[in-house]
Structure 1
């Protein structure tokens, strides 16, 4: 028994919750006041034809009273953390799928609740409302994929239950591309083999998909029949990389401006490494230009969580691999993050004083806000706010907001 909790127009709903005068009005959230693309729209805006990804000017043409609201990612993360913590009162078996979605494995709780599935599902909805003041949609079935599909069927504020013994029948007329994880690319491959609807999947052997996509192909074949074998993943694995990127004004050629953006990302990466007592010695630094990505893997002399050597690498990169072509995005990543060693490097310089300075700076910024204390050039950094990463989690390595 798997349930999927899906918040209704999450960012927009929080804005309407905090500003009652906006309730019932077409509203769209953008990345800052200068953002031109709608991140999410309220259901009143959707009724006017406004959709996620639409430009603000197009939205105003459809709804003259459209309200543009700058995103507040820290507020959204705060509410999500409260919701996820409250859901643990329903079951401890939770997979936080995104900032506004969570899977609950209720299999072991069925005897405990001793009530119909619908009653348990309504308990979940009530739990979310009590924790946040927001409505959600819930889908319940016997596997993750069907539960996620079910949650989308009666939005907003919906409740859909698909009994495991009826899943194949319910999914049969559903286009395969409506299932989570089946992209248009995979959809094209399936169409070449005559599979357009979930009910068509039985027409091809599982080996056809396994030969093309490996284990993912086997899972897709089972998903279409309501037999998704994927379990819930509760553990947050240690990061294989830690990186930050940021979009710049198109075709930026000013060396000082590109340097400032890279410095900003270097500080973000280094701060995040220190927050989790990690360090790294291999970094990727890249620029997305009108000719495509220009990126290099560079090494520091010793593993570090200090931004100084990382900024030096970024400037070395600019000197040697950037020819002045227009840039519209930067990215910096630590490629080998690992726990800081208790035993220092034998020939590494003593950075005890620098470490104390960084610790004080981190404490100040944690208390008064990110970059309250920073390098002078970063005072003029981009004012575009951070965004919530798709892999965000309430705690641990993934509890971070991306630029």
Structure 2
């Protein structure tokens, strides 16, 4: 039986939700993030992206590129609410959904043709259902592997649908081209240029041993497999059943602690609101870091204290990050997650004395319920405000 994977990618997710909720933003240059000198752009509408604005870009730079941009703070509670709805729709199509982050997931659609028809037909039905129930568009990539499906979802964005059949992987990789091959950033591109490698066809002329000697063990193996349309296995260990995690692959490698910490904070809120909504608690906090050469490191800790709030997750994530990384080293991907989950809203081990973080968990639950009822609450969760509150 031919394996079939969907990669579902929500188009400019944060900005799309803001445009849906506030029609006056429709079609305008919209950037999600803070306004202060320490802020970065979380995401940007497609109108703003035409000016070169992208995620993880310092806000000052974004505004220089696009001075007419409208900047609004992120509303993670609302984004998590919509994400949950879309993931529920995805799970109605496949029993195996691997959520990578708040705005993307893999669906294993192998063996579902009797239920939903041919893969392209199933993807069209999925896209229509998401649009009908949320008012948002998604892009769907279909492939015989997760790697090909992920590249396919980006091939015709926004509102895209691209299928790569088994046996067509090599032709698809060549059509995408070396510069747009997923996983090849500016640093790797410069190294390839140095060795006069400009196409996937030229890259395939090199043996795996030669590529590993030129680019390092991990990157050499990745280039060898990717240029042949072979799944490098980067997504094989994502989203276990007993975890809630999120990760961010940056458009450009990040070297600044401030930017990584802001994304840690954003993802900490995301996974905590997902855990609240699913009535789950975690025993362990872990982070994942991938560097430009595709070497990947994970680090976990099980705190003695119960894990109640996003603030705890963020603080622990920062500590783990400092153990595995120091400022100036470029980072391609950053993720954080809750592990060893158990059902319930109270910890298995009750505290002898009141834990101040338990009160923050109750506040986060109230905010989540308000959003479910469509009530508006204070929306800012950016790093500047978080630091300011800590100083007060």
Please give the TM-score of this superposition, normalised by the length of structure 1.
0.59
Alpha carbons of 1:75 and 1:352: their partners in 2 closer, same or farther (altered >3 Å)? closer
Secondary structure in 1 matching 2:111: helix
Hey, what's the Cα distance between the residues in 1 that align with 2:16 and 2:178? 30
Hey, what's the Cα distance between the residues in 2 that align with 1:90 and 1:173? 29
Please give the TM-score of this superposition, normalised by the length of structure 2.
0.60
8 A contact 1:3–1:141 mirrored in 2: yes
Q: Which residue in the other structure is 1:78 paired with?
A: 81
TM superposition shift of 1:55: 5.4
Q: Map Cα deviations across residues 314-353 of structure 1 (whole Å, 9 max, x no partner).
A: 9xxxxxxxxxxxxxxxxxxx9xx9899xxxxxxxxxx953
Q: Within the alignment, does 1:101 sit opposite 2:101 as a pair?
A: no
Hey, what's the Cα distance between the residues in 2 that align with 1:180 and 1:385? 30
Q: Which residue in the other structure is 2:33 paired with?
A: 30
Q: Which residue in the other structure is 1:379 paired with?
A: none
Hey, what's the Cα distance between the residues in 1 that align with 2:36 and 2:19? 17
Q: Which structure is higher in RCO with an 8 Å CA cutoff and minimum separation 6?
A: 2
Matches within 5 A, 1:240-389: 247=258, 276=281, 278=283, 303-305=304-306, 353-354=352-353, 356=354, 361=359, 364-368=362-366, 385-386=381-382
Which of the two has higher C-alpha Rg?
A: 1
Alpha carbons of 1:35 and 1:133: their partners in 2 closer, same or farther (altered >3 Å)? farther
Secondary structure in 2 matching 1:95: strand
Hey, what's the Cα distance between the residues in 2 that align with 1:190 and 1:64? 35
Alpha carbons of 1:88 and 1:277: their partners in 2 closer, same or farther (altered >3 Å)? closer
TM superposition shift of 1:147: 1.8
Alpha carbons of 1:170 and 1:32: their partners in 2 closer, same or farther (altered >3 Å)? same
TM superposition shift of 1:174: 3.9
TM superposition shift of 1:15: 0.4
Matches within 5 A, 1:158-307: 158-172=160-174, 174-191=176-193, 193-209=195-211, 213-214=216-217, 217-228=220-231, 230=233, 232-233=236-237, 235-236=239-240, 247=258, 276=281, 278=283, 303-305=304-306
Moved more, 36-45 or 178-187: 178-187
8 A contact 1:93–1:234 mirrored in 2: no
> Which blocks of at least 5 consecutive residues in structure 1 are unaligned?
249-264, 284-298, 315-333, 341-350, 371-382, 388-403
8 A contact 1:96–1:103 mirrored in 2: yes
TM superposition shift of 1:157: 1.0
8 A contact 2:138–2:158 mirrored in 1: yes
Secondary structure in 1 matching 2:204: helix
Task: Find the partner of 2:139 among 137, 140, 145.
Answer: 137
Alpha carbons of 1:190 and 1:368: their partners in 2 closer, same or farther (altered >3 Å)? same
Hey, what's the Cα distance between the residues in 2 that align with 1:247 and 1:215? 27
Q: Which residue in the other structure is 2:265 paired with?
A: none
